[in-house]
Amino acid sequence: MTHPPPGTPSDGIDLALHQVGVRFGGLVALDDVTLRVPAGRIVGVIGPNGAGKTTLFNVVCGFVAPTSGSLTLDGRPFRPRPHRLTHFGIARTLQGVGLFPGLTVLENVMAGASHAARAGFAAALFGLPRSDRDERRLRERALDLLAELGVAQHAAAAPATLPYAVRKRVALARALIARPRLLLLDEPAGGLGADDIAELGELITALPGHADGACSIMLVEHHMDLVMSVCDEIVVLDFGKVIAAGPPDHVRDDPKVTEAYLGADVPTEVTGTAPSRGAGS
Ligand SMILES: Nc1ncnc2c1ncn2[C@@H]1O[C@H](COP(=O)(O)OP(=O)(O)OP(=O)(O)O)[C@@H](O)[C@H]1O
Ligand SMILES: [Mg+2]
């Protein structure tokens, strides 16, 4: 990995959660969770079914308000709101794909641009006057990103006609076009085969040092092998609590982590996914 040294402004955003708790009625989904995604680093969040991973993701996106605790971005108080994420330099991909079915691949990626850049695109959609130059730039950048992710040949296609793995890459391009300084990925390997996961790992590893500007990444993921191979640090949740945190080797060897996964060995093979505790999701 060729990550830039931390601490320079172009490194991405430093995200921190401080003693965050989330309750759903009597159920404690997150309990006193403190974690940090340092600038320019890739931090994985893993844990068995029902551990609180999605809840954590939703807290950072602003879909779920914490019952206690606080968040900071680059050390400043941060109250996430879903519609304000781009304003903070944050982009996300959701579990599944979530592309607009009525738009082409290229249009989907363009639609992910920041509000300012998208004004031209929206104007184009609705036939309003707009800046041709802005739109041309946005289109070029969307095509560049699709090429970088190896799917430019599908630019004119409707998403529904494409294989799942291609659609996942388009969704990633749509997140990247906003030039995020913090990228939140929810189960990016979900539904992918072994080869696609390995390629995805390479793509993700390259993102923090991206030529367009570095970003930090928070990766919520079931596929243990992907998390182990791309993350600088891993946070393990169990029943809403952080039970282990540290570099992949450290976490892999932690008996608390193995125990959380019902005594099963943490799988490391390419197709491995975290064993299920059967709680459903
Ligand atoms: N909106 C909600 N209302 C009530 N309970 C919820 C809600 N969302 C999540 N929970 C509960 O909070 C706990 C944590 O759920 P969460 O979805 O965050 O776990 P997870 O680690 O993402 O699990 P999975 O691996 O199955 O996706 C679970 O017990 C779940 O049932
Ligand atoms: Mg989940």
Nearest-5° angle of CA 50, CA 55, CA 60?
155
DSSP readout, 150-218?
T-GGGTTS-GGGS-HHHHHHHHHHHHHTT--SEEEEESTTTT--HHHHHHHHHHHHHGGG-TT---EEE
Closest C-alpha to 60, from 13, 25, 6, 26 = 13
Digitized pLDDT (tens) for each residue of the chain, 281 residues in all: 444 444 444 578 899 999 999 999 999 999 999 999 999 999 999 998 889 999 999 999 999 999 999 999 999 999 999 888 888 999 988 776 778 888 999 999 998 886 544 555 555 555 555 577 778 888 999 999 999 999 999 999 999 999 998 998 999 999 899 889 999 998 888 888 888 899 889 989 888 777 667 889 999 987 888 999 999 999 999 999 999 999 999 998 888 888 887 554 445 443 345 444 543 33
51 ligand 1 Cβ < 6 A: yes
Mention every residue, 6+ apart, whose C-beta is less than 8 A from residue 27. none
Give the C-alpha distances (Å, rounded to integers) separating 255 from 36, 203, 243, 274: 22, 31, 10, 15
Strand partners of residue 237 = 242
pLDDT given for residue 278 in this prediction: 43
70 ligand 1 Cβ < 6 A: no
Burial class (CB in 10 A: 0-12, 13-18, 19+), 65: exposed
- Residue 37 has φ and ψ, to the nearest 5°, of -110, 95
27 ligand 1 Cβ < 6 A: yes
47 ligand 1 Cβ < 6 A: yes
CATH class of 34-89+180-275: alpha beta
- Residue 42 has φ and ψ, to the nearest 5°, of -110, 115
* Distance of CA 58 from the midpoint of ligand 2 (Å): 10
pLDDT given for residue 94 in this prediction: 75
Q: Which protein residue's CA is at the shortest distance from atom 16 of ligand 1? A: 52
pLDDT given for residue 130 in this prediction: 58
Look up the pTM and report it.
0.83
* Distance of CA 137 from the midpoint of ligand 2 (Å): 37
**Given the structure tokens 């090429």, which residue do they identify?**
147
Which mutation among 53, 55, 61 tests ligand 1's pocket best, with the greatest number of atoms within 8 A of CB? 55
Closest C-alpha to 47, from 60, 62, 31 = 31
pLDDT given for residue 144 in this prediction: 92
